Amino acid sequence: MRKVIGVMLALLLAVVADVGAAAASPPTAVAPQDDRTGGPRTQGIPGEIEPSDDKDLAAWQRLQYGMFIHWGLFSELGGVWQGEPVTKGYSEQIQMWADISEEEYLEVAQRFRPDRFDPAEICSLVKQAGMRYVVITSKHHDGFSMFDTDTTGYDVVDATPYGKDPLKALADECRSQGLKFGFYFSLVDWHQGHDFDGNNNNPIPASMEPVIEGQLRELMTGYGDIAEVWFDMSSPTAAQSEKFAGIVRELQPKAAVNSRVWNNKGDFRTLGDNEIPSVALDGAWQTPASVYHETWGYRSWQKRDDLPGKIRDLVGGLTGVRARGGNYLLNIGPRGDGSVVEFEADVLRGMGDWLRRHPGAVLGASATRFGGQPWGEVTVNGPDLFLHVTQWPKSGELRLPGLATSVRDVREDGSKDRLDRRWDRDDLVVTLPDRPHDDVLPVVKVELGGELRIIPERTVALGPDEAAVLDPGDIEHGYSYADSGSYYSTRRTTVRHTAHLTADRAERLTVEVRGEARPEALYRVQVGKHSRLVQGADLTRRAVGPFSVPGDKVTPVTIRLAAPEHAGEELGLRIDELRVAPR
């Protein structure tokens, strides 16, 4: 619940002023039901989540939706060894789970003829699905390189009858069709000496570094512009992580490096497989998703049914990730002959059909500060707010809390019929039809009368000459992730604390923090557009300020590290109480 301290007089004056202004002004195009006399007309904070300030990382974030391709020698086996399905683990790791020797694995290479690998067909499918980029496995844990390399003969050109570099053909076709291109690269390599480890947490011996460095340089110089490099697994040292990421940045300075290069040296955080975060995340991140959660590489015996249900499920995943600000990388696993599984192609086309029915609702749209709602997700694209209704409310009403922008029109996207709406204080309440128009994932389109602004739920109103004391429940937290050099050391971190204030008139305020901070850390305390740097030892001992706060406007009070070593560095600040007082 929003806290209000001494604002009754301000509300009364606001209502009187609104009535007088309405009488003196000509009618506007806004419908009467948009008159917000039931709540305050406070100016909210911007509701759109902007991309990174780094232009290259922001360009990667704007790709939004891409195709992941797990394809390699393992695809030829299709999850089967010696006539029996291998049911343990992912099928792209079948060499480990079936304990296949390298000699036996090379026999598979001798019959590997991916003559149905068609880059033009794949790129066409990418575009039909609405995707904007492709990331493909250059080398998985088996160490078998799917590109032409001089570092080893254990590759598709030298060890198979195919004798060609399929990744070069795919990179060229992506460029021809206007798609961005990237590589997956495993830091685990069973051919170069890593033992089978069910956790794929192997350290990297110094003897393996020259091969890794050489292959990275080949990939970064022989395939045109690279948009993304997706490292995976192992547990490198900090120096190794810095070295591997450094090769990419030296040769492909615009490429985004994922966090699985480890030791917090990446540009964006890769979440767990198919993970949709329960809370909003600060910074750039991505969810790798699979059509079937059981495997990423081709599995011949995989159960494939309920096409409409699969499309619905994955559209929900895409929407959930995009509404929270992440990129969505959805995987397919082609067969050993290079052909795309028909069911997977149909799923992607179905998702593309949904995206085309709702232009601008996901692709090109931005995440918002509303966060996940009980009924679904929210995105924004210019003047259009999109409400993605994953749970059709039984009440027949959809409530969007804290909208501080006027509304011109509300319709179910794809329908010509307007929907009734009303204001309940600063909540927009939309009356829904009995049945949704779209049976995959219905979308309600709200045409706004200006820039999206919101009033956060825990906004605290200051009365005249009165201090406000905020407890931890009034604080919004910004989250990210950090690691100590491996997948299993990854942990969620708190990187920001934010409170939201309103005042009925301009004020000069000080901020006092009661709690515990890292004594040596340098923090930035920001109130609106103004900030001050404070040593952690001082932050919890004295008031910070003064800061100027305008009236009738939500003002954020944010504390973060002034110069974090990486985007996910733990803030190290516990707030027991935050006191905001007039100067």
**C-alpha to C-alpha distance for 460 and 467, rounded to whole angstroms:** 11
**C-alpha to C-alpha distance for 258 and 270, rounded to whole angstroms:** 6
Q: Is the same domain home to 335 and 433?
A: no
DSSP β-ladder status, 421-424 and 453-454: unpaired
Residue 318 lies in a domain: yes
Residue 469 lies in a domain: yes
DSSP helix, strand, coil percent of the chain (3-state; round to 5): 25, 30, 45
Instruction: Please report which helix (H) or strand (E) contains residue 221, including its range.
Output: helix 209-221
Residue 577 lies in a domain: yes
**C-alpha to C-alpha distance for 376 and 398, rounded to whole angstroms:** 10
DSSP β-ladder status, 133-139 and 180-186: parallel
Q: Is the same domain home to 450 and 464?
A: no
Residue 54 lies in a domain: no
Domain around 428: 28-44+368-454
Judge residue 130's burial from the number of C-beta atoms within 10 Å of its C-beta, 0-12 exposed, 13-18 middle, 19 or more buried: buried
CATH number at residue 420: 2.60.40.1180
Residue 508 lies in a domain: yes
Q: What is the pLDDT of residues 539-554, one digit of tens each?
A: 999 999 999 989 889 9
**C-alpha to C-alpha distance for 470 and 576, rounded to whole angstroms:** 9
**C-alpha to C-alpha distance for 93 and 79, rounded to whole angstroms:** 9
Integer Rg of the chain from CA? 27
Helices (H), 112-154: 119-128
The answer to whether residues 388 and 377 touch, using CB atoms and an 8 Å cutoff, is yes
Residue 5 lies in a domain: no
Residue 20 lies in a domain: no
Q: Which two tokens stand for residue 113?
A: 């003829």
DSSP β-ladder status, 3-4 and 460-462: parallel
Nearest to 190, CA basis, from 217, 152, 230: 152
How many residues does the structure list for the chain?
Answer: 583
Q: Which two tokens stand for residue 453?
A: 């602004």
User: According to the model, what pLDDT value does residue 35 have?
Assistant: 53
CATH number at residue 329: 3.20.20.80
Planar angle of CA 263, 266, 269, nearest 5 degrees? 95
CATH number at residue 489: 2.60.120.260
Domain stops at, among 454, 480, 515: 454
Judge residue 476's burial from the number of C-beta atoms within 10 Å of its C-beta, 0-12 exposed, 13-18 middle, 19 or more buried: middle
User: According to the model, what pLDDT value does residue 506 have?
Assistant: 86
Q: Is the same domain home to 37 and 89?
A: no
Q: Is the same domain home to 449 and 351?
A: no
DSSP of 52-96: -SSHHHHHHHTT-EEEEE--SHHHHHTTEETTEE--SS-GGGHHH
Q: 249-286 burial, b for 16+ CB within 10 Å, e for fewer? A: eeebeebbbbbbbbbbbbbbbbbeeeebbeebbbbbbb
Q: Is the same domain home to 319 and 436?
A: no
Q: Which two tokens stand for residue 172?
A: 């060229």
Measured from the Cβ of residue 574, the count of other Cβ atoms closer than 10 Å reads: 14
Sign of the dihedral through C-alpha 258, 260, 261, 266:
positive
Q: Is the same domain home to 297 and 409?
A: no
**C-alpha to C-alpha distance for 574 and 540, rounded to whole angstroms:** 10
Distance of CA 542 to the CA centre of its chain: 38
Judge residue 567's burial from the number of C-beta atoms within 10 Å of its C-beta, 0-12 exposed, 13-18 middle, 19 or more buried: buried
* Residues contacting 391, CB < 8 A, separation 6+: 374, 375, 376
Nearest to 68, CA basis, from 365, 335, 314, 328: 328
Q: Is the same domain home to 322 and 344?
A: yes
Nearest to 76, CA basis, from 34, 43, 110: 110
Q: Is the same domain home to 436 and 544?
A: no
Q: Is the same domain home to 498 and 565?
A: yes
pLDDT beneath 70, residues of the chain: 1-41
* Residues contacting 289, CB < 8 A, separation 6+: 68, 273, 274, 314, 317, 318, 321, 328, 329, 330, 331
Strand intervals (E) in 317-459: 327-332, 366-367, 376-381, 384-389, 397-400, 407-412, 421-424, 427-431, 443-448, 453-454
Strand intervals (E) in 212-351: 228-232, 256-257, 269-270, 285-290, 327-332
Sign of the dihedral through C-alpha 249, 253, 258, 263:
positive
CA–CA distances in Å: residue 65 to residues 110, 131, 180, 382, 445: 36, 5, 11, 19, 21
DSSP of 438-462: -SS--EEEEEESSS-EE--TT-EEE
Q: Is the same domain home to 220 and 309?
A: yes
Q: What is the pLDDT of residues 38-75, one digit of tens each?
A: 444 689 999 999 999 999 999 999 999 999 999 999 99
Nearest to 129, CA basis, from 328, 349, 341, 309: 349
Residue 4 lies in a domain: no
Domain stops at, among 417, 433, 454: 454
Domain stops at, among 335, 357, 379: 357
Q: Is the same domain home to 260 and 151?
A: yes
Number of domains within the chain: 3
Nearest to 517, CA basis, from 536, 535, 494: 536
User: According to the model, what pLDDT value does residue 110 have?
Assistant: 96
Q: What is the pLDDT of residues 474-483, one digit of tens each?
A: 999 999 999 9
Q: Is the same domain home to 414 and 492?
A: no
User: According to the model, what pLDDT value does residue 552 have?
Assistant: 86
